[in-house]
Amino acid sequence: MLTVRAAAERGHADHGWLRTWHSFSFADYVDPRYMGWGALRVLNEDIIAPGTGFGMHGHRDMEIVTYVLAGALTHRDSMGHTTTLHAGEVQRMSAGRGVLHSEVNHGREPVHLLQIWIVPAVRGIEPGYEQKAFDPALKHGRLHPIALPVAQAQAWGESAAAPVRLHADAALYAGCLDGAQRVTHTLAPGRMGYVHVVRGRLELNGVALGAGDAAMLADVTTLELAEGRNAELLLFDLAADAAL
């Protein structure tokens, strides 16, 4: 089964300082058909105006991944981190038994990002933080793992290409396709897939998808990505039985 989640059908809110699109039910947007997909609970596309942002607020028992597309975002948290995320960087914050953080755009241009929540495999862990910049070449014409379960990520050692570590049964890949480039990914039996097109256009198993579109996959073994036109995508390989 391959179900298209069209960009135009996502939940949307314009708060002036924040324009946001919700792939799954979030805040004031509630749709019982879209409460998550496997271990993936939230995928928000946010554009944050200069001089604004999210003040200090709390989370718990969630793996939170931020994927910055443009601009620079300043992060502060109760673990003592003060960092800036730039375009192309990935942040993983394990909320665990509880953490406070803020996300503010101190720059002169909007910040464009994807914020992703993944249900953890274990609750009540110590909060944690990780931030990584990946060489763009790693994503060209292929899928590169940018976040993997802890044991799999640790196997990469200290390599510059090593993914961030998730305390969840989920893997996240990023890729860029253009022209004749083609890539495939195999989902193990019982796994679920989710493909989100960040920008550009491509085809997934022959189905055309544009920027902001996504595909929800169940009982599908092989994913074939082709016909990219300046396309960037995220692919989630997910446990099917995760629940809040």
Could you tell me where the beta strands, DSSP code E, fall in 78-140? 82-86, 89-94, 99-104, 111-118, 128-133
pLDDT at position 158 is: 86
pLDDT, tens only, 211-243: 999 999 999 999 999 999 999 999 999 988 655
Give the gyration radius of the chain's Cα atoms.
17
Measured in degrees and rounded to the nearest 5, phi and psi for residue 119 equal -70, 125
Topology at the third CATH level for domain 2-238: Jelly Rolls (2.60.120)
Domain map (residue ranges) of the chain: 2-238
- Give the integer Cα–Cα distance in Å for 130 and 109: 25
Which positions ≥6 away from 226 have C-beta within 8 Å? 177, 181, 182, 183, 202, 203
pTM comes to 0.95
- 20-72 residue pLDDT tens: 999 999 999 999 999 999 999 999 999 999 999 999 999 999 999 999 999 99
pLDDT digits (tens, 9 = 90+) for 103-155: 999 999 999 999 999 999 999 999 999 999 999 999 999 999 999 999 998 89
Report the distance separating Cα 214 and Cα 207, nearest Å.
11
User: In whole angstroms, how far apart are CA 101 and each of 74, 104, 140, 215?
Assistant: 10, 10, 33, 31
Mean predicted lDDT score pLDDT of the chain: 95
